[in-house]
Amino acid sequence: MPIVAGTARITVDQQVCLLTENESICIPIGAVHRLENPGKVPMALIEVRNGSYLEEDDIIRYEGRYARGQGSKG
């Protein structure tokens, strides 16, 4: 997941890191993760998913501040 603009605060399981433009991270399969924009500049990123099944119903959404619906597994 490369960051195109701004800064991203990324939490993967319990580890938090800050990434800026031209930096990227690979999130392991099954890892609980969260993305946030800690700054005032808009953040842009490119999400790249790989594997044999890439549908939205494969995503488990945990409770969060954005009140998005649960995936079929969540």
As beta bridge partners, residue 20 has 7
Percent of the chain scored above 90 by pLDDT? 61
Q: In the structure, what pLDDT confidence band is assigned to residue 70 with cuts at 50, 70 and 90?
A: low
pTM across the whole model:
0.74
Mind listing the pLDDT tens digit for each residue in 23-48?
999 999 889 999 999 999 999 999 99
Q: Which two tokens stand for residue 29?
A: 């399969």
CA neighbor of 59 nearest in space, from 31, 24, 25, 19: 31
pLDDT for the residue numbered 34: 92
At 59, is the pLDDT very low, low, confident or very high (cuts 50, 70, 90)? confident
